[in-house]
Chain A
Amino acid sequence: MSASTKPSNEPLKYHYMKLYSKILFLTITQLAAIFLFGVYQIQSLYLTQKTAFDQKNLIQSDMIQKRFEEKLEALQKTAQILTNSQEVITGIISNDTDMLYNWSKLFLSSSIDKIHFIDLDGTIINRGESEFRFADDVSKRFYVQQALQNDTFLGIDLVDGEECLVYAKRVKQYGQKPIGIISVALIIDDALLASMVQGTMMNIAYHSEHQTLATTKDQGLINAASLHVMLQAGSIKEASFNIGLTSEEELSALKEARTNFFIGIGFALIILVLALHFILLKHLREYKALAQVLIDFYEDRLDIKEVMSTIKQTTKERTTPEVKKIAEALFNMSQKVADTQNALELLSSTDQLTNLSNRRKLEEYLEQKLKESDRGGFFCVVMIDIDRFKTINDTYGHEIGDHVLIHIAHLMRESIRTSDLLGRWGGEEFLLILPQTNLEGALIMAEQIRAKVYHFTFEHYPQRVTMSLGVAQFHKDDTPNSILRRADNALYRAKNDGRNRVEYED
């Protein structure tokens, strides 16, 4: 693999972050879009409701305004009727208290609390609301003076100590000669205020220098607006009527719903983003872990077995099905790689004819044993050679020669231990490495092999086959060559001493 394609942790991390960022960004974008749409919808609903609410308030304000104007009109109409009555005029001229009382009784109502007939001196001739209370002087009252001077007065003034909406009109005999005043008044009290806002959601408050009245006692008015009243300036200072709401309960519920929605959806958004963050991290971490295993394998930090072990561990862990499937696929692939690797390894270390280890394998094993001897290991090697094998080949052909080699290899394999390594050293020569075996043990093993082959009858070869064996024991500071040389020397001696025998060199 070229360096440019070699993976590393850095790009993986980069890609991993990029993927994470992309998913997170897209998700947040979508959620934000939903959130914004929701906000827009709620805000639109709120504005629609608020418009309707304001419209309703406006209508109700107009209604109250109208009611107030009707109250004033009732005062004026009543005064107008009374001033046009000839009997009333006669009653005022003659101070006929009884007649005036009888007239006023006809007009007193919920809209008119007080009817006073006053002569030009400012003396009350009759009070409609109190038959026997009269003859007192009200000439100093503002509304009386105004009516005497300007013909009429419509405003707020104190009438018998009570703040009233009062209309006072000068009475004229024959339409010319002033003879007195009629004042018609409506007391500004809680009942009046209540009647004005009856059936509405609105509240009304009256404020003057003397008193403050309101249809609601505890709360102030929201969005208060003054009534547009065409009243003359009276003796009562700072008198004003204000209408408004005590609470925007209806709107508050909507506001609260809107706020709750905003908070809820905002909270949900945060939760979703966090959940997404952790889910992404978890999933990507698993992918990353799998990728890291592969990278470690490639960079020889892990062999294929460790890779398999790690992946197998992953498949056992609680993970998502997707990751589990990938891990299983990777495990199966690793298994195949391991099998192939094993097969190649076996192929590269096995002699094709005898199925024994080949010379390369024997050399590696010998190297390994020599290394292990540093930690106290010991071993013997046996160099084996088939006597006069060239004659077999020459006489019976190579096919029979191979047949003999195969069977001898088989016989020898049956004789050795699993920890021993037997291999074809070359031609008709074999090498047996016996770990943790001293010279005596090696000689016994060599003798058993020799005897077994000697007594074996081959199927396609009628002659007895013998072998010469040279045994060498490991010495400290041995090299492969040194120990093999001693085994070879022993083999040479066995050949020289008549073959079919075991010799050793210490």
Chain B
Amino acid sequence: MPLKLFVASFLLFTTLSAKEYIFATYPSNTPSKVIEALTPLMEYLSAQSGDTFKLVVTKDYEELTKRIEEKSVDFAWVNTKNFVLLKGKIPSLRYLVTYLEHSKSGKITPYYQSFIVALKDANITSLEDAKGKHFAFTDKESTSGYAYPMMIFEERHINPYTFFQKVFFLKKHDKVIEALMTHSIEVGAISDGTYYNALEKYGEHFTILETSQPIPLDAIVASENVSQEESQRIAHLLEAIPLDSPSNKAFKEHLGWASAGFVKKDERFYETFKRTFKVPLYEAL
């Protein structure tokens, strides 16, 4: 009888202590697709934690940032740049895990990279050889297509606007590849994923002249609403997602992401990204 009473009391306590969490994310794709991609993850977390995870897709980054600041959300999926900015604004923001992805190179990594590539038939084997050539970035807002390549040039003390004959902006990584293949440019900055896709599509036509530092992938953070212990618990649950989980499959199916789960990194992992804020824009040069 006392045992029955204990079990009943425990169940009542558990039920009374179960929480409802708001999990917010930015619209990386159409909201419906984002919802469909993240719903299995929410179900996984709810089932494993005993709590209830409710998904919210904000209108944009600004709303997401605002809601994190207002603490109207408990957990959030933020991109690297937002994480770095938010961490600067809200030091109490708790880092949980970093998104893991199957790289085109075959590895599972929590980062990607930026490559500076040249056409093989341009006979450019080093960045020095590329002097006086035509070069293309993707977009000044792009991390891998502009910020990290600029960091490479900074490290090499190169001003691309004077080093190259002309510098163009093509918006998308694929367009850099197309411009290379059309011989409009000889050198371009692209993400590693774009590079590996181009290899599949066109073959060994490119020479990687430079590789950037790892660019951290998106992070999942928790607001101050969530305790340190609870954050750790949820982070463990996220790290424990198996590769063949419905969550990873849903990411692949609805967003095309080769998701491999999450990994907890040191927060300093994102420190390199802060340097991108200091990368000079064209107008400044």
Which A residues form the contact surface with B (CB < 8 A)? 94-99, 119, 121, 123, 125, 131-136
Contact = CB atoms under 8 A, between A and B. Distances in A.
B168 interface: yes
Given A97-B136, A98-B175, A135-B134, A125 B168 contact: yes
A131 to B, nearest CB: 7
B167 A95 contact: yes
A84 B247 CA distance: 50
Nearest to A130: B182
A98 B167 CA distance: 13
B190 to A, nearest CB: 14
B136 A131 contact: no
Contacts of A125: 168
Between A95, A125, A133, the greatest number of chain B beta carbons within 10 A of the residue's beta carbon is seen for: A95
A98 B185 contact: no
Q: Which 10 A-B pairs have the closest CB atoms?
A: A98-B171, A132-B182, A135-B134, A132-B178, A96-B169, A135-B184, A95-B168, A97-B168, A134-B184, A132-B179
A98 B172 contact: yes
Contacts of A131: 175, 178
Contacts of B139: 98
B184 A98 contact: no
B166 interface: yes
Between A96, A131, A135, A136, the greatest number of chain B beta carbons within 10 A of the residue's beta carbon is seen for: A135
11 contacts: A94-B169, A96-B168, A98-B175, A119-B166, A121-B166, A125-B168, A132-B178, A134-B168, A134-B179, A134-B184, A135-B134
B22 interface: no
Contacts of A132: 175, 178-179, 181-182, 184
B282 interface: yes
Contacts of A98: 139, 169-172, 175
Contacts of B165: 123
Contacts of B168: 95-97, 125, 134-135
B175 A95 contact: no
Given A134-B184, A135-B185, A97 B170 contact: yes
Interface string B142-177: 000000000000000000000001111111100100
Contact of B169 (A95, A135, A136): A95
Nearest to A95: B168
Contacts of B136: 97
A53 B47 CA distance: 90
Given A97-B136, A97-B175, A119-B166, 17 more contacts: A94-B169, A94-B282, A94-B283, A96-B169, A98-B139, A98-B170, A98-B171, A99-B169, A123-B166, A131-B178, A132-B179, A132-B181, A132-B184, A133-B184, A135-B134, A135-B166, A135-B184
A94 B282 CA distance: 7
A135 B176 CA distance: 13
A458 to B, nearest CB: 162
Nearest to B140: A94
A98 B134 CA distance: 16
A482 to B, nearest CB: 153
Contacts, number: 51
B166 A95 contact: yes
Nearest to B182: A132
Contacts of B179: 97, 132, 134-135
B117 to A, nearest CB: 15
A126 to B, nearest CB: 8
A248 B185 CA distance: 55
Interface string B250-285: 000000000000000000000000000000001100
Contacts of A133: 182, 184
Between A94, A121, A123, the greatest number of chain B beta carbons within 10 A of the residue's beta carbon is seen for: A94
B142 to A, nearest CB: 11
Nearest to A91: B169
Contacts of B169: 94-99
Contacts of B181: 132
Contacts of B178: 131-132
Nearest to A119: B166
Contacts of A136: 184
A121 B167 CA distance: 13
A98 B140 CA distance: 12
Contacts of B185: 135
A97 B176 CA distance: 11
A420 to B, nearest CB: 145
Nearest to B134: A135
Nearest to B281: A94
Interface string B75-119: 000000000000000000000000000000000000000000000
Contacts of A99: 169, 171
B70 to A, nearest CB: 35
Contacts of B170: 97-98
Contacts of A96: 168-169, 171
A125 B181 CA distance: 17
Contacts of B167: 95
A96 B282 CA distance: 11
Contacts of A123: 165-166
Interface string B182-204: 10110000000000000000000
A190 to B, nearest CB: 27
Contacts of A121: 166
Contacts of A135: 134, 166, 168, 179, 184-185
Nearest to A97: B168
A98 B175 CA distance: 9
Contacts of A97: 136, 168-171, 175, 179
A99 B185 CA distance: 17
A462 to B, nearest CB: 169
B118 to A, nearest CB: 14
A134 B167 CA distance: 11
A136 B184 CA distance: 7
A284 to B, nearest CB: 100
B22 to A, nearest CB: 37
A123 B135 CA distance: 13
A322 B165 CA distance: 114
A123 B136 CA distance: 14
A93 to B, nearest CB: 8
Between A119, A133, A134, the greatest number of chain B beta carbons within 10 A of the residue's beta carbon is seen for: A134
A18 to B, nearest CB: 101
Contacts of B134: 135
A127 to B, nearest CB: 9
B182 to A, nearest CB: 4
Nearest to B167: A95
Nearest to A127: B184
A96 B175 CA distance: 12
B193 to A, nearest CB: 19
A393 B181 CA distance: 169
Contacts of B282: 94
Contacts of A94: 140, 169, 282-283
A99 B165 CA distance: 20
Contacts of A134: 168, 179, 184
A135 B282 CA distance: 18
A125 B139 CA distance: 15
